[in-house]
Amino acid sequence: MAAARRMIEPAPFYGELFARERARLPGHGRSELERVREEAFARFVALGLPTQKAEVWKYSPIARFANREMVVAEAAVPRLEDVSAWFGGGPATRRLIFANGHLVPALSHVGGLPEGVRVTGLVRAIEEWPEKVAEALAGCDPECSFTQLNTALARSGAWIEIADGVRLDEPLQLLFVHEGGESAAMTHPRILLRLGRGARLHLIETHAGTGDGHCFVNLVCQMALAPEAELTLDRLELGAAGTTLLSRTLVELAAGARIRQTAVALGGGFLRNETEVRLGGRGGEAILNGLCMPRGEEHADTLVRIHHEAEDCHSDQFFKGVVEDRARAVFAGKIIVHRGAQKTNAYQANDNLLLSDRAEVDSKPELEIYADDVKCSHGATCGDLDEGALFYLRARGLPREVAASLLVYAFANEVIERMADERLRALTRRAVLDRVPGGAALEAEGLL
């Protein structure tokens, strides 16, 4: 009975939609992939959709968005000038550009990459290596209904594979534009990434919501890093009011592998960002930085799970929230130190600025430790702007509103400066200044 309340049945339209769409999905006619999709869909139906009775969805009424009548998003063909505003990297940066979840070949360019680097859209990957794709999808994340839904319906995405020892210095960008439609349109992009031994990649992922309508994005990123591989991931989400974005990033790190992720969520009606990292080999490192700034009626939910499964690994979570109006920020971060994972270093901080009486922050840091020789710490803060700092700036002549905006910017900037890509940092800073009173003036006066 209790279990029934934690999950509810998916709305009937899902069954009809899957029956109708399956023949249009890439890989149709390839028995191994079809089987994986069927199994995933069955699993999705069996699991159901989480209600707020489910612990990890306590503050986020996802069923409200996921169980309304939706259609599959149709392809759109944006022009270069519609997407270039969100370009990160430099002149040699290769990009895959997606509109409403469909790859836009005319704007994408991944040619001329060094030997040992494979970057293609998912459709092409399925054509060329159907078994490999089926194998990667099969059995992935069996307890998460949204991953199962993604596996069943993924129509596009990216396949990124870097061979042993190959280091790609120029960043690679995945740029998503999500256009809101009259009835909510859903997309299920899937990113499959593998870094070989000692390989290195800097990935930029950007999401931009446009239009006044609704869209539902259910993104799954599956990343596997071989020993000593290094991944830098900069993610920027600039959703619109009607954007519902779920992203689930699953990272497996072998010995000595490292990930450094900085994710900034600066808009979107309903955002849920999940990152689950497994440190499976000795000496791995996971550094996760995050910032969200919900305002108005926006909802930004961050879930982090770090599994220390091997000895001598390091993890560091640095998350901040700035919450205004009637918005809500949720943070749930858990560090799980498994038996035998001695000499673990694991840190977690979640600091929030609560800028309005009606805004809300729910922060839940958790530690679960089954080893004895570990160093772990966690802490969460939630408060108003520092009165002493505000007075200091005002005493030097800055009007209250400008001083407050400057302090909010400074607070956010501590996360932004951890993004690796300079152009994305600038883009993000401008987006932050767009969100604070008098921000344009601060920018004009050379803050950036």
Partner 1 sequence: MLRIEGLRVAVEGKRILDGVDLEIAAGETHAVMGPNGSGKSTLAHVLAGREGYEVEDGRITFMGEDLLAMEPEERAAAGLFLAMQYPVEIPGVSNMYFLRQAINAVRKARGEPEIAAGAFMKMLREKAKLVGVPEELLRRDLNTDFSGGEKKRNEILQLAMLEPRLAILDETDSGLDIDALKAVAGAVNGLRTPERAFLVITHYQRLLEYIVPDRVHVMVRGRIRRSGGRELALELEQRGYEQFAAEAA
Tell me 274's DSSP state: E
Binding-site size for partner 1 (CB under 8 A) equals 29
φ/ψ of 411, rounded to 5, equals: -60, -45
Nearer to partner 1, 241 or 390 (CB): 390
In 95-179, which residue ranges form alpha helices assigned H by DSSP? 122-128, 130-137, 145-153
For 60-87, b/e burial (b = at least 16 CB within 10 A) is bebbebbbeebebbeebebeeebbeebb
Rounded-to-integer distance, Cα 270 and Cα 301, Å: 8
- In sequence order, the 6+-apart residues with CB closer than 8 A to the CB of 268 are 209, 237, 238, 239, 240, 243, 244, 245, 298, 300
Nearer to partner 1, 382 or 389 (CB): 389
If one asks whether residue 446 binds partner 1 (CB under 8 A), the answer comes out as yes
Rounded-to-integer distance, Cα 163 and Cα 307, Å: 26
**CB of residue 391 to partner 1, shortest distance in Å:** 5
Nearer to partner 1, 341 or 408 (CB): 408
Residue from 367, 389, 420, 426 that binds partner 1 (CB under 8 A)?
389
**CB of residue 162 to partner 1, shortest distance in Å:** 35
Residue owning tokens 């000593």:
228
Strands (E) located in 22-105: 49-50, 71-72, 94-99, 102-103
If one asks whether residue 440 binds partner 1 (CB under 8 A), the answer comes out as no
Closest CA to 177 of 89, 84, 261: 84
If one asks whether residue 400 binds partner 1 (CB under 8 A), the answer comes out as yes
Rounded-to-integer distance, Cα 206 and Cα 84, Å: 12
If one asks whether residue 370 binds partner 1 (CB under 8 A), the answer comes out as no
**CB of residue 321 to partner 1, shortest distance in Å:** 16
Query: Helix 31-47 crosses helix 145-153 at what angle (to 10 degrees)?
Result: 150
Residue from 81, 115, 169, 387 that binds partner 1 (CB under 8 A)?
387
If one asks whether residue 397 binds partner 1 (CB under 8 A), the answer comes out as yes
Nearer to partner 1, 210 or 413 (CB): 413
**CB of residue 390 to partner 1, shortest distance in Å:** 9
**CB of residue 145 to partner 1, shortest distance in Å:** 40
Radius of gyration from C-alpha coordinates of the chain: 21
Nearer to partner 1, 271 or 402 (CB): 402
Rounded-to-integer distance, Cα 397 and Cα 418, Å: 30
**Token pair for 289:** 């930085």
Closest CA to 361 of 370, 352, 369: 352
Residue from 79, 399, 422, 434 that binds partner 1 (CB under 8 A)?
399
If one asks whether residue 393 binds partner 1 (CB under 8 A), the answer comes out as yes
Rounded-to-integer distance, Cα 279 and Cα 287, Å: 12
Residue owning tokens 């992935």:
140
**CB of residue 412 to partner 1, shortest distance in Å:** 8
Nearer to partner 1, 13 or 392 (CB): 392
Residue from 22, 167, 394, 430 that binds partner 1 (CB under 8 A)?
394
If one asks whether residue 392 binds partner 1 (CB under 8 A), the answer comes out as yes
Rounded-to-integer distance, Cα 172 and Cα 422, Å: 14
Which positions from 401 to 430 touch partner 1 by CB under 8 A, shown as an x/- string?
A: -xx--xx-xxxxxx--x-------------
Nearer to partner 1, 147 or 413 (CB): 413
**Token pair for 176:** 């998503």
Nearer to partner 1, 175 or 406 (CB): 406
**CB of residue 409 to partner 1, shortest distance in Å:** 7
**CB of residue 402 to partner 1, shortest distance in Å:** 7
Return residues touching partner 1 (CB under 8 A).
386-389, 391-400, 402-403, 406-407, 409-414, 417, 442, 445-447
